[in-house]
Chain A
Amino acid sequence: MSKLPSLSALALLLDHGEYTATRIVDEIEANIAANEPQTNAYINLFIEEAEAKARRLDTEGVRPGEDKPLAGIPIAIKDNICVADKPCTCASKILEGFVASYDATVVKRLKEAGAIIVGKTNLDEFAMGSSNENSAYGPVRNPLDPERVAGGSSGGSAAAVAYGGAVAALGSDTGGSARQPAAFCGLVGFRPSYGRVSRYGLVAFASSLDQVCPITRTVEDAALVYSVIAGPDPDDSTTYPSEPDEMDLTDEIKEGTKVGYIKECFDDLEDERVSDAVLRPFRDARVELVEVSVPLVRLSVAGYQLVAMAEASSNLARYDGIRYGRRVERLGLKETYAVTRGSGFGDEVTRRILIGTFGLSAGYIDAYYNTALRYRAALAAEFEEAFKKVEFLLSPTAPTPAFKLGEKIADPLAMYLSDIFTAPAALAALPAISIPAPDKVDGLPVGIQLTAPRWQDAKLLEFAHAVERL
């Protein structure tokens, strides 16, 4: 798809003077013009500002280096992450007219590293969805096959990188929203350990699960973006207090690395070709591949959705027609709230707020929300046990390659089940990465998901980088 070199390659080319930031932005602009009418990856574009910044960097001779590792690199930002003075829509009608007054910490760090913010990308409304069909700005189509979804909720970020509308992108991942679209578009999606990356300026969906994630062409690119955005932040009290570990990316897998494939994920696959595509590279590699059982992953969607919906119902209470964006005024405060929210939220967000409210309501909280929290603890304990036997866990990222637009949208439960392999790591706060398998199924990419113990982000990236070369 994209003919642009990877981020790491571009950084080298810029450093050696073989490329200019202006040339990269020009190529990005041409790709956007050619692909955007069909793909719909962006909600807002800042091309003129991007061109101006590229010219400035070129004139001043600023090249990627230790101080500015991303100098001249155009990056797209999912439109639930605040960029100062730009609209932040979350792909929702309820935020119409809302302009962010500050940069999210991750955006501030990208800008300080010299990155060029090229635009804000489409998403499922408030990041709730697995196909990017729940957007007030229309669905995103997969650049590899426009009849198919780009995945969700970070579908716009993945599609933009896939067709060369950005060199890299930020997405967010609550239960798989960066890893699954990356898998569907043949890219890398990295979800760091919860707490490694600041959530300040990321519009909250489910606060105990949300993480900002790089979506890139290669693992090396993901590691580079991660190293810029990760680290403690006084504006987010849930960030881990120390700096992330240093990484040493090499092509070789450490001999004797023990990888456990999660039995339940492979047993439940309907298409054996997905299983083969994920396992094949490991069969000939210098790894010890063993079967590991994590039985509770089978109910991860139930546990994940109950926690996420409960937190969403609370977080989205702030959109009341008074403080942000849209207001449909009625006589009476309560009526104004109800009409504004009823008309401002789309179907999927409404559905999740209602179920979340139900799960938290008196009489049901123990049977639903508290049960989900007990499940979350039990699942985390199963992962802990599994990691006593192996260094990394392996599964497909999603049960199928990208499905067709409209295929699941009328059946919410079928859509939720798309996240069955990505939700477990999110619930257990573990780092996980999706990388493209070398083999495709029906010409479509398949994602290999690797999961590591908590805080082992650097080791996971090092291993994934070597696996990418198998």
Chain B
Amino acid sequence: MTLGAEIVKVADLARLELTAQEQKRFGAEFEKIVAYFAELQRLKLEGELLLGYPCPRTPDEPRDYAIEVERLSKHLKDGYFKIPPLLA
């Protein structure tokens, strides 16, 4: 099955609401784009997967950061993020 046909499922996985018109448009584009990306499969590459990150990773050290959550969102109460009901 192609992405064009699976657009509704993928949009749900990505938590993106799409209109019917968007589903149609993105679906048609994806057929073409993903077909081009699939050219890589014709190389029949084997071997390692390169994730990037060429440097030796230095371990993270916990530190105090002066980040104020009030700057991030106006939906706060008593220092916590307010959220809509979990189950509608």
- Are both chains from one complex? yes
Asked whether A412 is an interface residue with its Cβ less than 8 Å from the other chain, the reply is: yes
Structural contact, A413 and B15, CB atoms closer than 8 A: no
Bitwise, A323-349 to B at CB < 8 A (1) or not (0) is 111010111111111110111010000
Asked whether B86 is an interface residue with its Cβ less than 8 Å from the other chain, the reply is: yes
Structural contact, A234 and B38, CB atoms closer than 8 A: no
Structural contact, B34 and A371, CB atoms closer than 8 A: no
Asked whether B75 is an interface residue with its Cβ less than 8 Å from the other chain, the reply is: yes
A-B pairs under 8 A by CB, number: 186
Residue of A at shortest CB range from B61? A234
Bitwise, A122-137 to B at CB < 8 A (1) or not (0) is 0000000000000000
The A contact surface, by secondary structure, is helix
Residue of A at shortest CB range from B65? A102
The B contact surface, by secondary structure, is loop
> How far does the Cβ of A172 sit from chain B's closest Cβ, in whole Å?
15
> How far does the Cβ of A464 sit from chain B's closest Cβ, in whole Å?
21
Structural contact, B37 and A306, CB atoms closer than 8 A: yes
Asked whether A1 is an interface residue with its Cβ less than 8 Å from the other chain, the reply is: no
Most B-side CB within 10 Å, residue of A100, A325, A354: A354
CA A86 – CA B60 in complex, angstroms?
27
Structural contact, A367 and B49, CB atoms closer than 8 A: no
Structural contact, A99 and B88, CB atoms closer than 8 A: no
Q: Chain A residues near B18 (CB, 8 Å)?
A: 342, 350
Q: A238-B53, A322-B83, A374-B49 are in contact. Are A330 and B40 (CB under 8 A)?
A: no
- Per a CB cutoff under 8 Å, which of A323, A350, A353 touches B73? A323
The interface size bin for chain A is: 35 or more
Residues of A287-345 contacting chain B, CB below 8 A = 296, 299, 301-303, 305-307, 313, 317, 320, 322-325, 327, 329-339, 341-343, 345
> How far does the Cβ of A222 sit from chain B's closest Cβ, in whole Å?
22
Structural contact, A413 and B32, CB atoms closer than 8 A: yes
Structural contact, B45 and A334, CB atoms closer than 8 A: no
Asked whether A375 is an interface residue with its Cβ less than 8 Å from the other chain, the reply is: yes
Residues of A81-116 contacting chain B, CB below 8 A = 97-102
Q: Chain A residues near B84 (CB, 8 Å)?
A: 329-333, 335-336
Structural contact, A353 and B16, CB atoms closer than 8 A: yes
Asked whether B51 is an interface residue with its Cβ less than 8 Å from the other chain, the reply is: yes
Structural contact, B15 and A374, CB atoms closer than 8 A: no
Structural contact, A374 and B53, CB atoms closer than 8 A: no
List chain B positions with a Cβ less than 8 A from chain A: 3, 6-7, 10-18, 22, 26, 29-30, 32-34, 36-41, 43, 45-61, 63, 65-68, 71-75, 81, 83-88
List chain A positions with a Cβ less than 8 A from chain B: 97-102, 193-195, 207-209, 232, 234, 237-241, 296, 299, 301-303, 305-307, 313, 317, 320, 322-325, 327, 329-339, 341-343, 345, 350-351, 353-355, 357-359, 361, 367-368, 370-378, 380, 412-413, 416, 429, 454
Enumerate 27 A-B pairs (CB-CB under 8 Å) in ascending A order. A195-B53, A239-B55, A239-B58, A240-B55, A313-B14, A322-B75, A322-B81, A330-B88, A331-B84, A333-B86, A338-B12, A338-B16, A338-B17, A350-B26, A351-B26, A353-B16, A354-B26, A355-B34, A355-B37, A359-B37, A368-B37, A374-B47, A374-B50, A375-B43, A376-B50, A377-B50, A412-B29
